[in-house]
Amino acid sequence: ILLYNKNINIGLKYYLKVVELNNKADYIYRSKIELAIIYFEMKNKDVALNYLNEVANENTQSKYKLEAENILEYYNSLINLSDGDNL
């Protein structure tokens, strides 16, 4: 959606609607990852990390769990780097 519309608000509304379905399907995990990326870009890091942790902590072998873990590690390294700049 974001790729085609280039509009974060439309993407945000779409993915929030999908996540409201609240089941354990792959498209829910994918939507949570997309929301995390959107929120991180909007500088809302806590919400982004929360979505990623939800997917990473699922008891599943989904490829999205691994993707969430990788993005989470990357975002945490970025946060730690920026925190180091504030010292």
Q: Whole-prediction pTM value?
A: 0.84
Residue owning tokens 């990623």 = 52
> 7-16, 45-54, 60-69 — which is least confidently predicted?
7-16
Residue 85 confidence (pLDDT): 62
Average pLDDT score over the chain: 87
- ∠ at Cα 49 (21, 86), nearest 5°? 155
Widest CA span in the chain = 42
